[in-house]
Amino acid sequence: MIRLEPFERADFTQLIAWMDSPRFLFQWGGQSFRHPLTEQQLEQYIEDANTDDAHALIYRVVQEENNEVIGHINLHIDRMNQSARIGKVLIGDRGRRGQGIGQLMIRQVLAIAFEDLGLHKVSLGVLDFNHAALACYEKAGFVKEGLIRDKRKMDDEFCSVWEMSMLEEEWLEMSRTERSLKRDGVR
């Protein structure tokens, strides 16, 4: 199991170490960061985050068994429109990928968005060639809204981005179904 904790300055070194190539930083950070990732960039990233009225909740992902930081995720909030956007999703240790940790991360952030913050919609964007992330988000209940063609440029190549979202009622239905299955002893 995992838990989400506020991302802090003490986490900078680990996150910087995970960003081992310009391409990986591009996939993770989009246009928000430049290679090489620096503490100064991360200082700007966490400025005004993780407060009661913050527009960004930024988390480190901690493996509960050993309290090891294994990932990162954030939620950008638009309170006026009761919506948020998930971003910067990362399982840092490549050996831990494909074990369902991404699902747990997404589910916990969705619980914060819909249950704690009372939001109506949560969206995200994923590069079209990131098939593992697409599968993770679809399994979590996200719906593809559309493909934005050639949205981002990396080196000399354009990349398309799938826009995906989940609505509050979809979350509630999925949560009811999961509770019913657990109550009935089905996993």
The tens digit of pLDDT for each residue in 16-65 reads 999 999 999 999 998 899 999 999 999 999 999 999 899 999 999 999 99
Q: Exposed, middle or buried by CB within 10 Å (0-12, 13-18, 19+), for 76?
A: middle
**CA distances to 9, 83, 139 from 13, in Å:** 8, 31, 32
pLDDT for res 184: 81
CA 161-87-37 angle, to 5 degrees, is 100
DSSP letter string over 108-169?
HHHHIIIIIS--SEEEEEEETT-HHHHHHHHHTT-EEEEEEEEEEEETTEEEEEEEEEEEHH
Q: Which pTM value belongs to this model? A: 0.94
The tens digit of pLDDT for each residue in 94-135 reads 889 999 999 999 999 999 999 999 999 999 999 999 999 999
Q: Which CATH architecture has domain 2-183?
A: 3-Layer(aba) Sandwich (3.40)
Instruction: Work out the mean pLDDT of the chain and round it to a whole number.
Output: 95
What are the extents of the domains in the chain? 2-183
